[in-house]
Amino acid sequence: MLLGASIWYAVSQQNAENWPALGDVEPALLLALFVSIFLSTIFLPGLQFWLVTQPFVTGQRLSVFTMQGLTAGSALLNYTPVKAGLIGRVAYLRYFHGVGLRAAVISHTLIVIVFVAACGITFLVTLWRPQIDIGWVAAIITAFLIAVLVGAPLLGLLVPLSVPMDPEMRHSRKRQVGFLGLCFLIQGLGLAATTVRWWLVFAILDRPATFTDAWLAAVVHMVTIAGGPANGLGFREWLIGLAGQRGLFSPGLQIDLGAGVAAALFDRAVESIVIVAFGLFGLALLRRGLRAQKSAAEQGVLTEGEGSTG
């Protein structure tokens, strides 16, 4: 309903001026947008999920490639209102890799904590230094390092002793610091990729934005994914539009509600192409892997039966 309303509003007569720029899109910008969407929607989230899940694996080895397939398939299935992708990923990891339900909740909680911390740090630094430059990046890196050093000792408190976990991760401070540092690094790269993504969206629609504008749009974008149903379908479009209307972006962007909704809808259209393509590919790979595992298990049973008969 929210998505339908946003489409109606964006294509209405008073907002028709937001679309002509799409008729003369530079191929390089469009290609860069596809790459940034792949990185921010599938590749970097897949790395993050693999990293936080790895300490809780008690079954067969979980490869980065498998988690990328799971992430792509989940992104596609999460367009359903009940977030079927999230449920399916948790079930798959539990059945094949021994990641229990409590471990899954803990790993997702950790991702949320790192996300909130990263967004909070970048928001405070941006308030202090609105211009994104070398000084801004240095301040962000310093703040991230402080967060890692403070947060690493607390990892043990997050995971109860009753939850199976890699012993080295539970007891080694060096491993905890490295683990949390990688979590913040990947989250930071995710924010950067999403920032570039929105800068490109505004540029393609002929509404040049500063990187600060794009970063603010990136934060709104990621919040709607974390907190909204069905990948924030409709919810993201209206929040981006309202952010522009309420003056969240710089005066130079001069964005109104219609332009913000139009930008979010264009981003959603390109994202849908990426998610459908890689999501179907990821689900096909997972299905092929399941068939191979089933065949190997049946072969093992057959071999054992022949041995006992002999």
| 293: confidence class by pLDDT, cuts 50, 70, 90 | confident
Residue 3 has pLDDT above 50, yes or no: no
Q: Which of 64, 154, 160 is nearest to 106 (CA)?
A: 160
**What would the mean pLDDT of 239-261 be, rounded to a whole number?**
61
Q: Which residues contact 264 (CB under 8 A, 6 or more apart)?
A: 6, 236, 237, 240, 241
Domain ranges across the chain:
2-294
- Of the listed ranges 12-16, 49-53, 85-89, the least confidently predicted one is 12-16
Q: How many helices (H) and strands (E) does the chain have?
A: 13, 0
Q: Which two tokens stand for residue 53?
A: 């899940």
What is residue 66's three-state secondary structure? helix
CA atoms of 159 and 298, how far apart (whole Å): 37
Residue 40 has pLDDT above 90, yes or no: yes
pLDDT of residue 148: 95
pLDDT at 160: 86
